[in-house]
Structure 1
Amino acid sequence: MEKLESTRDRATIILVHGAFEHKGRYKELADRFRQDGFSVIYGDLPGQGLSDGKKGHIRSFGDYVETIQSWYEQADPDKKIFLLGHSMGGLAVIRFMEEKQPQLDGVILSSPAVQIRNKTTRPLEALSYLMNVFTPSLRMKAGQNPENVTRNQIKVEEFRQDPLVIDKVSVRWYREFQKAGSRAFQQVNRFPDVPLLVMQAEEDLLVDPARTKEWFNHVDTSEKSYKLWPGLYHEIFNEPENDQVYHYTQSFLSNIINER
C-alpha cells in the first residue's frame, strides 16, 4: 500500500484497481489528484501486482473486501474520505460498502464489473463449479486483449509490455468474481446512504453497461448520479477523453467537499 500526502489535504481518495492489473497503472491519476489537493491511498489487491500469494488467485472475494478495509483504516478519519474503484475494483468497492457499511463521504465507480460481457460457455461454466471444489487454484488463460480496454494506443502498448499485468486467473477467482457480481444485486439494499457517482463507458467491451445501470437504479441513496460516456471504452481514465472524465470526477468531489 502507498499513501501520497497532499499539503492541501482537501480529502483522501482510496483508489482500487481492476482485474489483471496493479496500482502502478494508476500512478498518473494518483499524482494528478495529489496535485489538486487530495491525499491518495492505493495498493495492489491480493494476487495481483507485487502483492503476496499466487498471482491470479484468491481464497474468496472477501480477500479484496478486507484489503480495502485495511486501506480505509489508513485514512485520516478527521478528513473527508472517498472511494474510487475501477472495473473489478468497482465491484470490490460495492461489496465493501455493502458488507462493511463504512463512514465515508462519497463513492465513485468507473465501469464497475457487476457483470462481464463474455462469459464462458455453458459446459465450461458448469465444469467450473466442480473444478472449484477439486482444483480451485488451477489457473487458466484470461484472454485479455488490451485493444478492448482503451482506444489510447500509448496505454495499449504500455499494457502489452507491463510485466506485472497477469494473463491467468484461477478457477476459484472466476467463481468468486461471479458470485460477487450476484451478491452486489442481492444485497444492494445494504449499500449505505452516501453520495454515489457511477461512470460507465458506453462502448464497453468488457462489462455490460445495461447491468451497471440496472444496479445503479436499485441503489437507494439520497444523492446519486449516473454518467454514460458516449464512445468511450472500458478504461475511461485512460481514454483520449480522460481530461473530461477527470474534471467530471473532480466536480463531484468538490461539490461534496464544499457543501459539507
Structure 2
Amino acid sequence: MESQYLHMPDGAQLHVFTSQAVGPCCGQVLLVHGLSEHGGRYGHLVELFNRAGFNVLIPDLRGHGKTLGPRGHVADYTLFLDDLDFLIDQLASEHPRLPIVLYGHSMGGGIVAHWLVKRHHPAVCAGVLSAPWLHLTNTPTSLQVLLYRIAAAVFPNFTVPAQPPIEHLTSDREASRRYQEDPLIHRRISLRLAVQAYDAGLASIAAAESCTIPLLIVHSPDDHITSASGSELFAQRAPHAVLTLLPGFAHEYHNEPGWRTVAEPIVDWVREHCREAVIDEARHRTETPSVEKLSG
C-alpha cells in the first residue's frame, strides 16, 4: 500500500493508505479502522479487495496511526464524519463512474453506521459493518455513564486505558504478536471520544431506518468487545440490511484463522452491489433526456 498525507479543510493532516485494483476496476472501498489501531493492519484484506477489482483507501483516523494529534482523542466525533465526506468527495471526483462502498470495523464500523444515518453521497452504493461499536459487550451502568459525562465535560482530552485482552481481539498467535509489537497501537481513549462514540452508537440504532442503501453487517455473538445485540437492532431497523453472525470468531474476524471464509463472501457481496449500482447508473443516464432533446 502507498501512503500520503492529505490536507483537510480544517488544517489537519490526515495520513491515508491507498492501493489500486489489480486489473479492471469495478469500484472503490473506503475502509475505516477501529480504536487504537491504524490502516496499516489491513494489508491482507486490502489485497483481497484489490484482486477482486477494487481500489481501496484507508485513512488513519484522527488520534491514530501516523495522523498527527493526541493519541486516542478527537476534538469532536463529527470530525470523523467530515473526514469521510472529504474522502468520499475526493474518490468520487477522481473516478466519477466508480461506485463507493464504505467498510468500517469496530469503532470504524460505528463511524460508518453514524455516517450512513446522518450523511449522504450519491456515489456511495453500499456499506459493510464489521463488529461495529453500537453496543458494548460490557454495558456501562447509568451511574458510570453519568460519571464519564461529567469527567468528559471537565477533562475532555484526558485519556484512559483501552486495552482488552489480546485473546478477545484474535485467537491467532501471529496476529497477536504483531499487534503487541506494533508501535503505532496506543491502547488509549479520551473521555470525550469514549462518551461521544457511546452516544453515536445509540443514536445510530435509533435512526437506523435512515440508512436506505444495502448494508452487510458481520458480527460474532461471542465478541467480548462490541456486542452483536447492537448489530441485531440496527439490522432489524435498517430497511436493506443483512446480518451475518459469526459464531466462534473473536472481535477481529479478519485476523482470525479461517478469515478468508468470511472475507471472500463479503468481497463477493460488495462486487455484486457495485455491479448493480453501475447498471442502475447506466439505466438512469439512458432514461434521462438530455438538455438538447428537451430543447428540441
Band the TM-score falls in, shorter-chain normalisation: over 0.9
- Alignment pair present for 1:128 and 2:144: no
- Alignment pair present for 1:200 and 2:216: no
What is the aligned length?
A: 257
Would you say the 8 A contact 1:57–1:137 is kept in 2?
yes
- Aligned residue for 1:74, secondary structure, equals helix
Whole-angstrom CA distance in 1 between matches of 2:171 and 2:134: 22
Q: Once the 2 structures are TM-superposed, how far is the Cα of residue 121 of structure 1 from its aligned partner?
A: 5.6
Whole-angstrom CA distance in 2 between matches of 1:124 and 1:195: 35
Q: Once the 2 structures are TM-superposed, how far is the Cα of residue 258 of structure 1 from its aligned partner?
A: 3.8
Q: Once the 2 structures are TM-superposed, how far is the Cα of residue 125 of structure 1 from its aligned partner?
A: 3.0
- Who is 1:86 aligned against? 105
RMSD: 1.5
- Alignment pair present for 1:100 and 2:106: no
Whole-angstrom CA distance in 1 between matches of 2:274 and 2:199: 35
The two structures have a TM-score, normalised by structure 1, of 0.93
Name the CA shift for 1:30/1:135 in 2 (closer, same or farther; >3 Å): same
CA deviation string 1:165-190 (max 9, x = no partner): 11121111111111111111222232
Would you say the 8 A contact 1:151–1:240 is kept in 2?
yes
CA deviation string 1:181-236 (max 9, x = no partner): 11112222322x21111111131111111221111101123xx3211112111111
Q: Which amino acid is the alignment partner of residue 38 of structure 1? A: F
- Aligned residue for 1:166, secondary structure, equals coil
Alignment of 1:206-217 (within 5 A): 206-217=225-236
Whole-angstrom CA distance in 1 between matches of 2:255 and 2:249: 10
Whole-angstrom CA distance in 1 between matches of 2:140 and 2:206: 22
- Who is 2:43 aligned against? 27
Structure 1: stretches of 5+ with no match in the other structure: none
2:172 equivalent among 145, 152, 161: 152
Whole-angstrom CA distance in 1 between matches of 2:141 and 2:274: 46
- Aligned residue for 1:206, secondary structure, equals coil
- Who is 1:252 aligned against? 269
- Aligned residue for 1:109, secondary structure, equals strand
- Who is 2:5 aligned against? none
Which of 1 and 2 has greater Rg? 2
- Alignment pair present for 1:169 and 2:189: yes
Alignment of 1:184-199 (within 5 A): 184-191=204-211, 193-199=212-218
- Who is 1:64 aligned against? 80
Q: Which amino acid is the alignment partner of residue 202 of structure 2? A: S
Whole-angstrom CA distance in 2 between matches of 1:151 and 1:53: 31
Whole-angstrom CA distance in 1 between matches of 2:119 and 2:142: 33
Would you say the 8 A contact 1:108–1:197 is kept in 2?
yes
Whole-angstrom CA distance in 1 between matches of 2:114 and 2:230: 16
- Who is 1:14 aligned against? 30
Q: Which runs of 4+ in 1 moved over 6 A?
A: none
Name the CA shift for 1:152/1:257 in 2 (closer, same or farther; >3 Å): same
Q: Once the 2 structures are TM-superposed, how far is the Cα of residue 143 of structure 1 from its aligned partner?
A: 2.9
Q: Once the 2 structures are TM-superposed, how far is the Cα of residue 135 of structure 1 from its aligned partner?
A: 0.9
Would you say the 8 A contact 2:26–2:271 is kept in 1?
no
- Aligned residue for 2:235, secondary structure, equals helix
Structure 2: stretches of 5+ with no match in the other structure: 1-15, 280-296
CA deviation string 1:106-158 (max 9, x = no partner): 11111111011124465443221111121111111113222111111111111
- Alignment pair present for 1:46 and 2:69: no
1:113 equivalent among 129, 133, 142: 133
- Who is 2:20 aligned against? 5
- Alignment pair present for 1:73 and 2:89: yes
- Aligned residue for 1:105, secondary structure, equals strand
- Aligned residue for 1:126, secondary structure, equals helix
Q: Once the 2 structures are TM-superposed, how far is the Cα of residue 72 of structure 1 from its aligned partner?
A: 1.1
